[in-house]
Amino acid sequence: MDTNKPPQAAGLYHPENEHDACGVAFVAKLTDGPDHGVIDRALYALENLEHRGAAGADPTTGDGAGILLQLPDEFFRAVAGVELPPAGRYGVGVCFLPTEEGAQARLVALIERTIAEEGQRVLAWRDVPVDDAHVGIVAGRSAPCIRQVLIGAAEELPDQDAFERRLYVIRRLIEKAAGEQLAIPSCSSRTIAYKGMLTAPQLSGYFPDLKDERFTTRLALVHSRFSTNTFPSWELAHPYRTIAHNGEINTLRGNVNWMRARESQLASELFGEDLGKVMPVVKQGGSDSATFDNVLELLVLAGRPITHAVMMMVPEAYRDRTDVPPAVRGFYDYHACVMEPWDGPAVVAFTDGRQVGATLDRNGLRPGRWVQTSDGYVVLASETGVTKAAPSEIVRKGRLQPGKIFLVDLEQGRIVEDEEVKARVAAQRPYAEWYAERVVHLDDLPERAPRAPRVEPLRSKQLAFGYSQEDLRMVIAPMAANGEEPTASMGNDHALAVLSDRQPPLFAYFKQLFAQVTNPPIDPIRESVVMSLATSVGGSLNLLAESPAHAHQLFMRQPILRNQELEKLRQVSHDVFHAATIDLTWPIEMGTDGMEWRLEAICAEASQWVERGANILILSDRNVGAERVGIPSLLAVAAIHHHLVRAGTRLRCGLVIETGEPREIHHMATLIGYGAAAINPYLMFESLDELTDRGLLPIDLDRETAEQRIVKAIGKGLLKTFSKMGISTIQSYCGAQIFEAVGLAPELIERHFTGTASRIGGIGMDVLAKEALERHLRAYPRTGREVLPVGGVLQWRRDGEVHIWNPDTIALLQQSVRAQNGDGPQTYAEFSRAVNEDSARKASLRGLMRLRTLPEPIPLEQVEPAEEIVKRFSTGAMSLGAISRESHETLAIAMNRLGAKSNTGEGGEDPSRYEADSNGDLRRSSIKQIASGRFGVTPHYLVNADRLQIKMAQGAKPGEGGQLPGHKVDDYIAWLRNSTAGVGLISPPPHHDIYSIEDLKQLIYDLRCANPRAEVSVKLVSEVGVGTVAAGVAKANADHVVISGHDGGTGASPQSSIQAAGIPWEIGLAETQQTLLLNDLRSRITVEADGQMKTGRDVVIAALLGADEIGFSTAPLIAMGCIMMRVCHLNTCPVGIATQDPELRKRFEGTPEHVVKYLFFVAEEARELMAALGVRSFDELIGRTDLLELDAAIDHWKARGVDLSSVFTMPDVPRDAPRHRTRPPEPVLEDALDWELIRQAEPALDRAEPMRIASTVRNVNRTVGGLLSSEIARRYGPDGMPADTIAVDFDGSAGQSFGAWLMHGVTFTLSGETNDYAGKGLAGGLLTVRPPEDAGFAAEENVIVGNTVLYGATAGRAFFRGLAGERFAVRNSGAVAVVEGVGDHGCEYMTGGRVVVLGPTGRNFAAGMSGGVAYVYDEHRTFASCCNVELVELEALSEHDEAELRDLVAEHAQRTGSPVARRLLEDWEAAARAFVTVMPRDYRRALEERAAAEAAAAQPTAEPAGA
């Protein structure tokens, strides 16, 4: 069934990178027998989730939809055509067979033979009827032949569970034998799946079975898929056999490896000998969901209740929590010794046919809402409003909560609460006792005297391990001084490791992956509640058994071991733990051959030690000395890890590495990512001691404190690194290989870094060995006073690493745009030559490329003029805040003069810039960025844009947020950002309204509503899989996608992020182009590339690799005078560019002419190259990879292994397939409810006449109010209309983003409920949500609005009678809201406004809250434990606040009829005493300062206040 599969890997496209996200729902019938109504309800829900799914280039072909049901006995008895055994004694296997008859016949024979061999009976085959009218064109072409095989149970099987196991064995045997030809979506006596590459509405049409009234069930699990690709795949539709999943398992690679490592230990009494037949447990090439399903299924069939298995795989964040019962905590502790978490944002809906439930990841990053109706049904879905039940029929409703399980037990006929489920599972065995008895804490081991093999001079060791002065001064010293990683700025322009002659460490070849779009990164600081650094070593036991011995692990609080801690491990004397040390060095006389020889040897030694019972392997390079050279530590760890995984013995030991090499956070992260449980970076500690002794650290820092701080700094850095990928615990990061290698040979990757993405080849073992020897030769035989090499990676040095920006290139560029004597073009030519022919060749991939020019160029005048080419240029998203107002406006003027685009960056824009200056210049930025902080994002800002850019990631620090320190927030910036001067501002790592691709689709829709005339752009950063994400972006109806390189700039980022995350744009752009072409999506979307663009050659190469447009950032800054101080984050830029200091800003001497001249030089250079290539227009240039080749003239000894052919691959698509954008966007707004509102409100819009409208609303009506608000902002400006001009009363369940962008003058009152993102970006409007009059439930106990309500609101008022979900009022900067209870992370990152909570709050309230005030009604005095008090203080209500609060509560009562509010008002005095005020410390300080300043300013001579 080849057509059933995505295409094979080709070029840079790899099917493994596909992502999906989805809508998921289940329906369960609590009482009575099965009926068909369950299916009807499930299909209704599914169809109402359809907007969460997606269609590709062929709009009739969906990404997949499916349903999992109880096996309907009555139905099969009727249609089987044979006599069936009693229910439970037969099963049905659903088979996707190839349509080709011969192949099908062979497979049918295989199936029948296997069933027989396993002692069961084939009862019958049934062709599943399908209706081709209900399938898309593309999907139809690849549709499999779907047949069901009915299997009868053998007599000797004792029970249904045994039969289920037998069916499982049969299925695995068939799957293994059939390979890719066959898929078996389900094979069970309890459940059955119907699914396919369908849209939600097609599902029931395609499968007439589902309409058959005899088809009855008590549960139905449905799923609608949104995949990043459009390749036909029927099998990848959900549900799987036990789950339907909405999310991502980020740690999949590690989980798969660990599962594989476990297999040799698996044993099960229930399966006995059969277990061997199902191995490998994980089906090769499956998606994350499929893999998860494989493991869950095994755990359940091997005897664990499904709830137990789910709790093992997706544990909640339990560490350091007091509200988790001891038994449950013990359960988690115990199981942490057994299995690492499957980490990532996910809703997993699961069933074994008897219970159906759902759980949410520990951080609550997916939505889930449920209702219970009076007629006995429970419906859970990604959204609310997917049932037909009237409000009066609803008994209860709620939402999935982070880490909680929502379970319906059909046998008991009831919903089982999370606490009960967990208590019951935890009580199965005395897990807590087992754990407490057996686990050993590192701290409890006795101290040991150090035992080092040799003592070498420090300097020699530093030289041998490649230390530089920079490492000491700029990495180690600041970490020790401040307890955190140093911040840096500007982009990374130095040589890729594979091009560097400076022997970069192996770590530098590995680039960190990060979450973008398909899953969210985490904020490890503000959401530290979900993070954990705890690690353990020891041997693991059989996964399928349970015993106290399973808990025998050596536990460590964090993975960086100081020397004495390592000694405790090395000399452990314990009846269970046995440590062995393996020497990672080889004798120098063996030369380069020695490394591989030794590598083989250490792998063998590791195996031998494991056989002899060692369960802690310490890999040590302490033996490095004059005659012995060290294997790169990362290579050693990865080699042994993979060797033991292959040998099946990996889980019998833990790996600890004792090495002199690592000294940066990235180094530690890679070691852990490839399997090290703990690291002793002894030379880093010794170097730190030297710094302390030499007095190069702050005086008050003694050795002990310095070491503690550096350990702390590394811990924080590691959390940052995991969280970029959305991973919360070190346990699941360990071995997860969240890296892409750039510049390593395929053999090396395959053998020692198995499964790591690596696409351009590069150096092999020989070069690694040579470089190890070169480093070693610096140190030996000579020692003594030798100074360390300078480094020159973080700051340019002449003898250091090559940088493309260097004194030469910067001076030439500046001189070229300033030349007054006509020398400009010539000087620019010198500049571009210096870049193109020298520094870029030494540093970048494009430097290795050659243009296939014609022998005779075409005449230059035939090439598109430069005036046209410059229109394709834009400047990067540099925020006002990062750079000064003068620089920001100069860039905007320059780009507007060119007809090109500048970008606001995050942080709003001064409306005065929307009007032209007297000389005709316009200071408005064409591109308005929407970043995660949403600062200044108002409808007025959005309507004044030509392009709206959603920043998913930034090249310098993908997967991270930002922070504008308080000292850069002056009055002007505070005003623009709607915040308080002097108070630092945090942009979270994720957009809290984008946790998945369907969320992005929603935000794109929101932005289209906010400005239907603007293009919507999504900014991504290169990493493996960016192409598939870009395809998803295209399918989410964006107009434009930016592919940024890893080398993009920044005003402030952690050092390791600038250096180590993301990959060059050359690869990401090529992957994007190839994937879009393969998906037939290229014509839908404009592609822009950016990242260290400097010359016309860069522009041409980007175009050839697929870019329609080019972004520049650093180079225009340099044209304006930037000299790469790299101190943007310190506010001391001496040329007035990256600073807010008024004195320094005066030094700014840049002009728009500088930028205009520079970009024209670039365009002219590009034209000359186009002429040389024989290409007349830019459009013709795009995607012509045939004009590129590897430059044979560049014979660099390391670069020889680089193979760019995958980058140059032209996908197999028709010759005339468009290679650039040719089509307008999809008209997605056509059916918006707002058009009707606007039509009705015309008199109000025209003449500001107050009016009242009534409307119903459903969950499919999204972003209601957005278009209306856009219209008001366009016509009336930032302040909109007078309050209550347009009042609309709604009735129903509103869809996502209800009331988004709501402007001054609009009042929405909803009787019903809303989904997520209500009041997003509220901008002065008034939003009320209250339950319907006839509601059958108490509002204050039920969820009325979803997650992430009032995100980025800037003004307005909101009243919600009922509970809200997670992240209520996140990043609110001005709205006033009243709500009756909130979930976790309430008021996160809030910078202004007021929030009143009249009921319970979840955990982590006020995390990152730097402004505004919250009042929480804390009747039971429990709030303090829920509040994150890092930035805020809790205090009693002041008199002044009390009056304000009372008014708000009264208004809430009046607008919503809330009985809660009424009760409080009845005895206000008592109520007021129960309120707690949550006050951010910085905010209060700033308010006090302002008050003092205002008092002082009351003097007549006072300056006018800032803007």
Q: Total binding residues for another protein by CB under 8 A? A: 57
Judged by DSSP in three states, 122 sits in strand
1123 belongs to the binding site for another protein (CB under 8 A): yes
Residue 33 interacting with another protein (CB under 8 A): no
Q: Which amino acid is at 212?
A: D
Query: Which residue from 121, 562, 778, 1274 is in contact with another protein, where contact means CB under 8 A?
Result: 778
1143 binds another protein (CB under 8 A): yes
Q: Which residues 917-956 are close enough to bind another protein by CB under 8 A? A: none
For 448, 562, 621, 1258, 1474, the CA distances from 616, given in Å and listed in that order, are: 17, 17, 16, 59, 54
22 is catalytic: yes
* CB closer to another protein out of 80 and 777: 777
Query: Measured from the CB atom, is 712 or 1196 closer to another protein?
Result: 1196
Candidate residues 423, 1125, 1251, 1253; the one interacting with another protein per rule CB under 8 A: 1125
Interface with another protein includes 810 (CB under 8 A)? yes
Window contacting another protein (CB under 8 A); options: 68-76, 111-119, 343-351, 1130-1138: 1130-1138
Contact between 799 and another protein (CB under 8 A)? Answer: yes
Which alpha helices (DSSP H) does 49-130 contain, by range? 73-79, 101-117
Rounded CA-CA distance 606/82 in Å is 59
* Segment contacting another protein by CB under 8 A, of 372-380, 833-841, 1040-1048, 1281-1289: 833-841
Among residues 366, 369, 399, 364, the alpha carbon closest in space to that of 384 is found at 369
Binding mask 1172-1211 toward another protein (x if CB under 8 A, else -) reads ---------------------x-xx---------------
- Is residue 590 a contact residue for another protein (CB under 8 A)? no
Residue closer to another protein (CB basis): 1049 or 1321: 1049
One of 388, 557, 782, 1223 touching another protein (CB under 8 A): 782
CB 567 to another protein: min, Å: 32
Cβ within 8 Å of residue 550, ≥6 positions away: 334, 337, 338, 434, 438, 540, 541
Tokens at residue 224, please?
């609608």
- What CA–CA distances, in Å, run from 752 to 105, 740, 1282? 42, 14, 67
Q: CB under 8 A: which stretch of 1079-1087, 1121-1129, 1209-1217, 1281-1289 binds another protein?
A: 1121-1129
Residues counted in the chain: 1507
CA distance 1401 to 1381: 6
Closer by beta carbon to another protein, 750 or else 837: 837
Taking CB under 8 A as the criterion, the residue among 629, 1124, 1202, 1409 binding another protein is 1124
Q: Does 694 bind another protein (CB under 8 A)?
A: yes
Pairwise CA distance, residues 919 & 728, whole Å:
54
CB 598 within 8 A of CB 631: yes
Residue 330 to residues 316, 327, 431, 437, 528, Cα–Cα distance (Å): 13, 5, 6, 11, 21
The H-assigned helical ranges of 1242-1292 are 1242-1247, 1266-1276
Q: Binding of another protein at residue 695 (CB under 8 A)?
A: yes
Stretch that binds another protein, among 98-106, 284-292, 801-809, 955-963 (CB under 8 A): 801-809
Sign of CA dihedral 1058, 1059, 1065, 1070: negative
Using the contact rule CB under 8 A, the part of the chain among 147-155, 792-800, 1372-1380, 1388-1396 near another protein is 792-800
CA 995 to chain centre: 7
The DSSP call for residue 1201 is: G
With a CB cutoff of 8 Å and minimum separation 6, the contacts of 646 are none
State both tokens at 1235: 């058009």
Residue 626 lies near another protein (rule: CB under 8 A):
no
* Shortest CB 1143 distance to another protein, Å: 6
Question: Residue 602 — φ and ψ, nearest 5°?
Answer: -70, -30
Considering only 940-948, 1090-1098, 1127-1135, 1252-1260, which stretch makes contact with another protein by CB under 8 A? 1127-1135
Given a contact cutoff of 8 angstroms between Cβ atoms, the answer to whether 1020 and 1043 are in contact is: yes
SS3 1254: strand
Minimum CB distance to another protein, residue 1452 (Å): 49
Using CB under 8 A, pick the residue from 774, 1334, 1489, 1494 that binds another protein. Answer: 774
Closest listed residue to residue 594, CA positions, set 833, 749, 772, 785: 772
Nearer Cβ to another protein (858/1127):
1127
Beta bridge partners of residue 676, listed in sequence order: 655
Among 1149, 1212, 1467, 1489, binds another protein (CB under 8 A): 1149
Q: CB 815 → another protein: shortest distance, Å?
A: 5
Helix (H) or strand (E) holding 1188: strand 1188-1190
**Can you read off the two tokens belonging to residue 1001?**
């689709």
Q: What residue type is assigned to position 483 of the chain?
A: G
- Residue 777 binds to another protein (criterion: CB under 8 A): yes
Asked if 763 touches another protein (CB under 8 A), the answer is no
Considering the complex, what minimum distance in angstroms separates the CB of residue 1001 from another protein? 40
What is the closest distance, in whole angstroms, from the C-beta atom of residue 829 to another protein in the complex?
14
Residues of span 444-503 touching another protein by CB under 8 A: 469, 473, 490, 501
Name the residue type at position 51: H
Alpha-helix residue ranges (DSSP H) falling in 753-877: 765-779, 807-818, 824-833, 840-843, 866-869
Q: Which of 22, 145, 1009, 1387 is catalytic?
A: 22
Decide if residue 1237 touches another protein (CB under 8 A): no
| CB-count burial class (<10 Å; 0-12, 13-18, 19+) for 1106 | buried
Q: Tell me the helix, strand and coil percentages in the chain, rounded to 5.
A: 40, 20, 40
Q: Which positions ≥6 away from 600 have C-beta within 8 Å?
A: none
Bond into 781 cis (ω within 30): yes
* Min dist. Cβ of residue 810 to another protein (A): 7
Work out which of 448, 703, 712, 1147 binds another protein, going by CB under 8 A.
1147
Instruction: Name which of 817 and 1369 has its Cβ closer to another protein.
Output: 817
Distance CA 68, CA 53 (A): 18
CA 1047 to chain CA centroid, nearest Å: 19
Which residue do the tokens 């399966």 mark?
271
CB of 488 to another protein, least distance (A): 9
Q: Is 841 an interacting residue with respect to another protein (CB under 8 A)?
A: yes
Indicate whether 828 belongs to the interface with another protein (CB under 8 A): no
Strand order in the sheet with 579-583: 579-583, 616-620, 654-658, 676-680
574 binds another protein (CB under 8 A): no
| 161, β-bridge pairs | none
686 binds another protein (CB under 8 A): no
Verify binding: residue 781, another protein, rule CB under 8 A.
yes
Contact predicate 67/210, CB 8 Å: yes
Q: Which is nearer to another protein, 797 or 1485 (CB)?
A: 797
The verdict on 822 binding another protein (CB under 8 A) reads no
Using rule CB under 8 A, residue 1145 touches another protein: no
- Stretch in the footprint of another protein (CB under 8 A) among 779-787, 968-976, 1225-1233, 1315-1323: 779-787
1036: three-class secondary structure by DSSP: coil
The distance of closest approach from Cβ of residue 474 to another protein in the complex, given in angstroms and rounded to an integer, is 9
Residue 809 vs 1185, nearer CB to another protein: 809
User: Does 790 interact with another protein (rule: CB under 8 A)?
Assistant: yes
Interface ranges with another protein (CB under 8 A) = 469, 473, 490, 501, 694-696, 774, 777-778, 781-782, 785, 787, 789-790, 794-799, 803, 805-808, 810-811, 814-815, 818, 820-821, 834, 837-839, 841-842, 1121, 1123-1127, 1130, 1132, 1134-1135, 1143-1144, 1147, 1149, 1193, 1195-1196
Q: Which residues are catalytic?
A: 22
